[in-house]
Structure 1
Amino acid sequence: MSNVAAAPRRDAIDLYRPEALRDPYPLYAELRARGPVTHEPERDIWLVPGHAEAAAVLRDHRRFVSGDGATYESALGRTERYPLIETDPPEHTRIRRAVQPPFARAEIEQLRPGIESAAAAIVGQALAHGEVDAVPALAQPMPDRAMAMLTGLTPPSCQALVDWSDAVVRAQEPAADPRHTELLLEALTWLGADGIPGLPAHCLGRLIMDGGSTGGLDPEGPERLMTLASIWLAGVDSTGALLGNAIDAFVEQPDQWELLRARPDLVPNAVEELLRFEAPFRVFYRRTRDEAEVGGVAIPAGATVCAVLGSTGRDPRQFADPDRLDVTRENARTHLALGTSIHLCLGAPLARMEATSMLTELTRRVQRFERTGDAVRSPSGTMRKFDALPVRLVAA
């Protein structure tokens, strides 16, 4: 193993400073230029910004573990964990196998009519208004409805679900507010008291909660509830972020929207390109229990390692002209936005279906998007998304 160490620098890069959250891409370029790994001494995290190196970290679950936490804050000492992202084999293998069947291609395809119907209704309602905030009008309703179809859970409102999903990641960030923890507890309380008792007879929620030991999940303790919560809440924020980022990208690059309208067959590839261009998850974390090496840099045991997903999609070693949106890009699907290896996003097929259905419906009915006010980025250090995106939908 190399004895090269990533020396601390006085001009340390902080991914969480406000200007980096608003426009992180110049910072990502600087970070990649520094080398395969940079130690950020202020927060004591090891940043991995390149596509190849981050992929190596995410695929090596033995040296870079998830069981100690996949977010900025360590999971050690936390009473509740998210079983699908904060466990390692063999425990992770057992849990994932127990919930995998409903995410098979044939099972997800059964949701397509409902997803496409929801897309048509959402777009139709937005067009009736003409000028909308694209976040609550277009980006957020689709994952709300999709999660209801998948899990059987019907939350008090779309906004409540959005706030709960946002709190899942915000509660583990450096700038976490006690309100985030309150919202997270509120979500889990509603799930146990109202959501699960109200589940219909045949749905993913029932499979998880009633499967018990026969389904591979622990019938005792919080594992089943936390597994359902992680699938339900994680599928809202990420897909909503993808859709909001997509609309903003087409406002900025209308030529790509015109191409997509002329070539709707490109929509599935456009979804991959949008995931590459603006990864919903900025970062994903791993921890080392023994010394490890990435790109010739030795990382000590007990280190917090950050795969900078937002940077990997703009790595010129992987993607030619990476700062340009190109819906025809041939290798767009090699992005890491949905993870990889054993922690590849379980709901990725559904997220792709939601985005494809929404963009297909929009290409049919919207000639162009026009900005009508200032877009507001979320202060989240984990999710690259909008809090507000005022636009005019010009009907086709």
Structure 2
Amino acid sequence: MPLRFPLAAAPRTVRLLRVPQIPRRLIFSTRSSPSKHSRIGPKSNNFLIQSQPQHLFSSSSQRCSTNTVVRVPAMAESITEGTLVQLTKQIGDYVEQDEELATIETDKIDVAVNAPHSGVIQRLLASEGDTVTVDQSIVELQRADSTSSEKSSSTEKQECDSEIAKRERETATEPVASSPVESTENRPSSTHTAKGSRPIQDAVQEEPGSGAKHERGETRIKMTRIRKKTAEHLKQSQNTAAFLTTFNEVDMSKLMDFRKMNKDSVLKQHGIKLGYMGAMARASALALGEIPAVNAAIEDGDTIVYRGYVDLSVAAAIPKGLVTPVLRNIESMGLVEIEKNISKLVAKARDGKLTMDDLTGGSFTISNSGVWGSLFGTPIINMPQTAVLGVYGIQDRPVSVNNQVEIRPMMYIALTYDHRIIDGREAVKFLTLVKGYLEDPNTMLLQ
């Protein structure tokens, strides 16, 4: 509390002998010069001592106390951490409610961190490239008044920052060692391409006998979490399942004619381009109904689970790696409905909008390498599934039709299966059924 005296009895000077627990911030006012401030010292004995009023910064403190710490959200039971790959906002930026603040890359999906309310970014509590865990603080957000503009919010932010800085200087008791300016002697001579990457060393090599010199370079970057997890998952699959692949070829003439005849009407009525994946999925669903072992799974090492549904995993390649979003219950869908839903899943994968529910489960996988021009291949099983169907490019080839050589659009298909529970007879029969449905699309429509 300030020391107060009645006006009539106020002494001209007050000699301070001892004032215990004086706040660090004091205002000293002399009687002769009220506007002049002096500091405590041996000769400073002619002043009134007034402690800082508690309300001096009450408004700014109240504003600062409304700051919200935005944390890493819960992502899934099996995911506890991720990599902060992007901060979409910087200090001082104004954000609206639900606007994206950051993107966290996990083993399976990218998780968006959104603003819980509108406001101004006060502090960034994590940096791009950091590994962050669930519930970790990453952004401090100052709540904006609903009637204030972006400009006024920015002004409040500056005032709040100024007050925070003052309080930090006043309460600091120990210096923090820092080296904001790096000397040229200690600065690394090599450069880095990305956070956490190893230096790039360019070497000049002379070609023997030519006298010419050219530069050679290398770039090293860390694997994305999705690609790293996919690599571990596929290697585990290779080490666990008894892999075997069988092949067949399909005459695509009738299916191509069917598509050509119906694609315009389907586009007009349903707004979807009629491709070949819908037919592949429909033919697979029908064949899986007849050969249930291809749609089964092994649990606990000695238990076979036969599924009464078909949840189709569609392999989709994105820049960060391979993902397999799941289309559920395709056994109850028609050709156009399957095509429409597959297009939605692929678009979500391409835009990075897949959710954990989109990637969970799956009883059978189709991998379409033909879209990139592949003619032949042996796909790898997506554990804990027991089979994967690979479909490839369509190519005109000479084939025997009724003892006559004709040029037909042919396509190879391959089934990689787990020989522990699928016999060769079942695998071959499955491919034969798929071939029959694709070569006569009307049989799929009848069912």
Normalization by structure 1: what TM-score?
A: 0.23
Larger Rg: 2
Bigger share in strand: 2
Bigger share in helix: 1
Normalization by structure 2: what TM-score?
A: 0.21
